[in-house]
């Protein structure tokens, strides 16, 4: 097999889209904390108990889109801030209680204790705002500073927890750890999305000056609403991940298998690109490694993209001034995130003929892009039968004691793949790849299924449940 040009260095990975780059620059733009709010470091037990008892409704993509396209008006920006504030304190309090429910010797571990204190500190910064509604742009700016600091504080939650549980493996079973982490990491996905979405909308809605506004509009792609790409192309992300994984594969093995993309490569839908990128990177890394290490590097890895077929009977789902056309089956599903009873009073079906023509209406197209399935097929020999039942468990056996949360120097090259939007590079080698990918896929109703033909190869089916292409 012909080799590529020798890889002299790994170029800086363009893993964050422009909106995410804005998001992570927020901490330096707005500071580490609010000058006008000086929360205490302690949170009252009554506050934690009250907030943890609040109903925590599922987060939907529709929730993140409902404030409209940036730049947002003053009213829409304040609504976004208050929506964020209405969700985060209860979610943080619930995670605090979940950590407290761990065995005392586990919570006493310095790594897990650090995460526990991070949650306490974050909740304490939100409590002064939680008592009132954000009603001015100045308050919104101060609140955004708190959000930026919160996002940065929890960036390394996963690797820190992983080391803590590794050190406590004598005191807690692997099944209990997997159960806790699965719940915790899924909750973290939602909490982070809520905060990042408001940060992105805030930064894309600033009107400092005509020149600055023009530059911002040129920098932020028009198809982005916060952290959501409303015209996400799975084929484009697959190609991007292929280049990245391929360079590392060639660096480690000296060869790199071909990747063929077929099916419906022109398909687009609305979804969170950093989630897709993390999942695809992990799945391709596994396929590339299996193919090369089985000696079948001449066999191409086949990726097939399929969009869900049209479903008749669509109707309109409207939140506030924004109209969403949703498949009938999806709107009727009691298990899907559209069933958001906390906001039922704000949802109405059909458009209002008296609605202002100036409103920034978001309309979803038909159901042809309501969900996307991606099949990744390799000839890597399949998964051994004794290993297959454990692929969804969080594994700690491969975690190197030489690896810290700030360095991956001793990790296998193909495991040294940074995860999008969450600084996942330091969880490499933990066995977190597949279970964490499944958590990302399932968060909005998708799935990952693995079909192994031992001695031949593996098919992985990734289904992403979006809400359609936005017009």
For residue 460, pLDDT over 90 is answered with yes
pLDDT (average), residues 331-345: 34
pLDDT, greater one: 105 or 345: 105
Cα 339 from chain centroid? Answer: 21
pLDDT (average), residues 336-364: 35
Phi, psi values for residue 303, rounded to 5°: -120, 125
For residue 269, pLDDT over 60 is answered with yes
pLDDT (average), residues 305-312: 74
**How far from 290 is each of 256, 284, 301, 436, CA to CA, in Å?**
11, 10, 10, 20
- Per-residue pLDDT band for 380 (boundaries 50, 70, 90) equals very high
For residue 420, pLDDT over 50 is answered with no
**Domain range annotation of the chain:** 18-222, 229-310+368-465, 315-351+358-365
In 3D space, the residue among 311, 446, 307 whose CA is nearest the CA of residue 372 turns out to be 307
End-to-end, the C-alpha distance of the chain in Å comes to 45
pLDDT at 7: 36
Contacts of 14 (CB under 8 A, 6+ apart): 240
- Per-residue pLDDT band for 29 (boundaries 50, 70, 90) equals very low
Tokens of 181: 């982490």
In 3D space, the residue among 291, 297, 280, 275 whose CA is nearest the CA of residue 245 turns out to be 280
In 3D space, the residue among 439, 433, 401, 397 whose CA is nearest the CA of residue 416 turns out to be 433
This prediction has a pTM of 0.75
Percent of the chain with pLDDT over 90: 48
Contacts of 56 (CB under 8 A, 6+ apart): 90, 91, 94
pLDDT at 219: 61
**How far from 280 is each of 77, 242, 253, 290, 367, CA to CA, in Å?**
33, 9, 21, 15, 23
Cα Dmax for the chain: 66
In 3D space, the residue among 116, 109, 113 whose CA is nearest the CA of residue 169 turns out to be 109
Phi, psi values for residue 453, rounded to 5°: -115, 95
pLDDT at 395: 64
For residue 28, pLDDT over 90 is answered with no
pLDDT at 342: 34
Buried-exposed string 116-154: b where 16+ CB fall within 10 A, e elsewhere: bebbbbbbbbbbbbeeeebeeeebbbbbbbbbbbbbebb
pLDDT (average), residues 169-182: 88
Quick: pLDDT tens for 89-118: 999 999 999 999 999 999 999 999 999 999
Quick: pLDDT tens for 146-171: 999 999 999 888 888 888 988 898 89
How high does pLDDT run on average in the chain? 75
Q: Please tell me the distance from the alpha carbon of residue 22 to that of residue 221, in angstroms, as a whole number.
A: 12
> Quick check: 384 and 351 in contact, CB under 8 A?
no
Tokens of 15: 């893993």
Tokens of 239: 């190609």
Sheet holding 269-271, edge to edge: 224-225, 228-232, 269-271
pLDDT, greater one: 407 or 230: 230
DSSP symbol at 308? P
Top CATH class of 229-310+368-465 equals: alpha beta
One of 1.20.140.20, 3.30.430.20, 3.30.360.10, 1.20.1250.20 is the CATH number of 18-222, namely 1.20.140.20
């Amino acid at each position: 097999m012909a080799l590529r040009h020798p890889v002299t260095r790994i170029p800086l990975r363009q893993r964050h889209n422009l909106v995410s780059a804005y998001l992570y620059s927020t901490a330096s733009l707005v500071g580490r904390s609010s000058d006008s709010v000086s929360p205490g470091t302690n949170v009252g037990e009554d506050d934690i108990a009250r907030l943890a008892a609040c109903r925590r409704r599922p987060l939907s993509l529709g929730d993140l889109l409902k404030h409209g396209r940036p730049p947002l008006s003053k009213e829409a920006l304040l609504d976004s801030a208050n929506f964020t504030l209405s969700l985060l304190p209860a979610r943080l309090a619930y995670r605090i209680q979940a950590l407290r429910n761990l065995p005392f010797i586990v919570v006493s571990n310095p790594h897990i204790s650090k995460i526990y204190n991070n949650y306490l500190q974050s909740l304490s910064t939100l409590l002064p705002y939680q008592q009132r509604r954000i009603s001015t742009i100045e308050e919104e700016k101060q609140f955004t500073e708190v959000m930026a600091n919160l996002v940065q504080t929890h960036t390394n939650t996963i690797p820190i927890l992983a080391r803590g549980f590794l050190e406590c493996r004598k005191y807690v079973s692997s099944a209990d750890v997997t159960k806790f982490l699965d719940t915790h990491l899924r909750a973290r996905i939602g909490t982070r999305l809520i905060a990042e979405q408001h940060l992105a909308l805030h930064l894309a809605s600033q009107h400092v000056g005509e020149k600055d506004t023009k530059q911002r509009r040129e920098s932020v792609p028009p198809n982005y609403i916060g952290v959501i790409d409303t015209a996400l192309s799975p084929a484009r992300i697959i190609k991007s991940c292929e280049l990245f994984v391929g360079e590392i594969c060639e660096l480690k093995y000296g060869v790199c298998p071909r990747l063929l993309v077929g099916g419906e490569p022109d398909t687009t839908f609305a979804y969170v690109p950093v989630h897709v990128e993390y999942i695809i990177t992990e799945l391709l890394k596994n396929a590339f490694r299996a193919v090369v290490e089985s000696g079948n590097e001449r066999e191409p890895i086949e990726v097939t993209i399929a969009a869900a077929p049209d479903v008749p009977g669509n109707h309109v789902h409207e939140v506030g001034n924004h109209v969403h056309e949703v498949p009938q089956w999806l709107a009727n599903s009691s298990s899907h995130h559209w069933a958001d009873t906390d906001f039922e009073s704000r949802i109405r079906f059909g458009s209002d003929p008296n609605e202002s023509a100036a409103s920034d209406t978001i309309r979803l197209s038909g159901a042809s892009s309501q969900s996307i399935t991606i099949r990744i097929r390799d000839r890597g020999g399949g998964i051994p039968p004794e290993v297959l039942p454990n692929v969804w468990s969080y594994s700690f056996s491969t975690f190197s004691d030489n690896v810290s949360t700030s360095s991956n120097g001793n990790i296998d090259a193909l495991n040294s793949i940074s995860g999008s939007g969450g600084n996942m590079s330091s969880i490499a080698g933990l066995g977190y790849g597949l279970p964490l990918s499944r958590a990302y896929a399932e968060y909005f109703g998708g799935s990952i299924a693995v079909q192994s033909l031992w001695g031949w190869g593996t098919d992985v089916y990734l289904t992403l449940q979006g809400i359609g292409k936005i017009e």
